[in-house]
Amino acid sequence: MSARFTIARLGSQGDGIAETEAGEVFIPFTLPGETVTAAREKDRATLMSVLEASPFRIDPACRHFGVCGGCALQHLETEAYRQWKREKVVHALKIKGIVCDIGALVPCAPQTRRRVVFSARRTEAGMQLGFVRALSSEIIPIEECPISLPEIVAALGRLKALAGLICATTKSFHMTVTVTGSGLDVAVHESGKLGENQRRVASNFVIAEGLARLAIDGEIIVEPKKPVVLFGGVAVAVPPGAFLQATAAAEQAMADIVGRHLARAKKVADLFAGCGSFALRLAAKSEVHAVEGDAAALSALDRAFRFASGLRRVTSERRDLFRRPLTFKELNAFDGLVFDPPRAGAEDQSKQIARSDVPFVAAVSCNPVTLARDLRILIDGGYALKSVTPIDQFLWSPHVEAVALLEKPKRRR
């Protein structure tokens, strides 16, 4: 049953929120100030029509917007969108009682995302490749994607054909596609066990179509060209499905901020180091100790350092920092530190950092809520928060990255 709603504000996921006598109603693809009709089901509603549009409503950039389940805010004017994203960081810090200099949002350009996760499934109508509709398991096939690098969009037909060749399940599966300096790296998950003939046919297809690599559930099926990315000029042969920042521009922006803050540090710890996007850049001026729980990522980092030239010493340590964070005594061996944990943040590690004497700390996060929690721990431990810079690398989504810089005065001995 449809009803009329007035949108009061945007929620944390980019949905418009209408306030009713029965409570808040979340209506995707609406904007504050709009009057709309929508079909309500409990606390959510599906937009039917916009009766009175916001002056900040614009035409979306993609024909699939509103159905594919990817972008949430293509309909919001650019400056208003950027202010909303920055405000997410401001609000998260404010809740924790943190007031500091929060910079303008570093913007994200369209057609720059280098790593995209598609969903695929074989149906009676043929192979489907696309994104999953929000709050659904339905795959929406796509023909364009204005956030992704053109190399990915141009390969949609080949990727769909490859999905058909390797599909050995009736269920949906995921295909992660990454643009590297060597070509497209394709990492597939849960597509089923390949038969020998399937493996041979898929391998021949990858070679013929010029793809860099195909891996399924971590196993390399074929690798005509080792996928390589550059971190500050250092070539890294990344393992299948390796974590990379979503855009190269955002990665560089974060690395520049961190690098300037740690410029005076002679010995730096890089926690949750991944394949070395910070460590290998920082090693141009400082000794670096990289700590990471993923063995393949750490091996790629170490190998890249050994084949690079002009770097200071980089040591590496495999360690689950959630189960066994570096202690404050271990951290006191360093005069600079950067940590970039997953969305869950690094609460236990932050407690150890707070007790340490490390003078310069950079905290990188893709979750303002857990960042605020971790910063509160550091501030309560004696750190001064100097600045926070929001960075948009998840264009038109509700997600925002941020880099926070902290300092602690040296203790008098």
Give the angle 251-344-291 at the CA atoms, nearest 5°: 60
Q: What strands, in cross-sheet order, belong to the sheet with 219-222?
A: 139-141, 126-132, 115-123, 173-180, 183-189, 213-216, 219-222
CB-CB contact of 339 with 354 (8 Å): no
366 is catalytic: yes
Give the dihedral of Cα atoms 366, 367, 372, 373; nearest 10 deg: -120
CA 308 to each of CA 132, 233, 277: distance values in angstroms, whole numbers, following the listed order: 41, 9, 14
Give the angle 159-163-167 at the CA atoms, nearest 5°: 175
Please give the helix or strand (H or E) that residue 282 lies within, else none: helix 279-282
Q: Report d(CA 241, CA 230) in Å as an integer.
A: 16
Q: Report d(CA 365, CA 190) in Å as an integer.
A: 29
Structure-token pair, residue 296? 């393949």
Catalytic residue, candidates 71, 108, 167, 366: 366
Residues labelled catalytic: 366
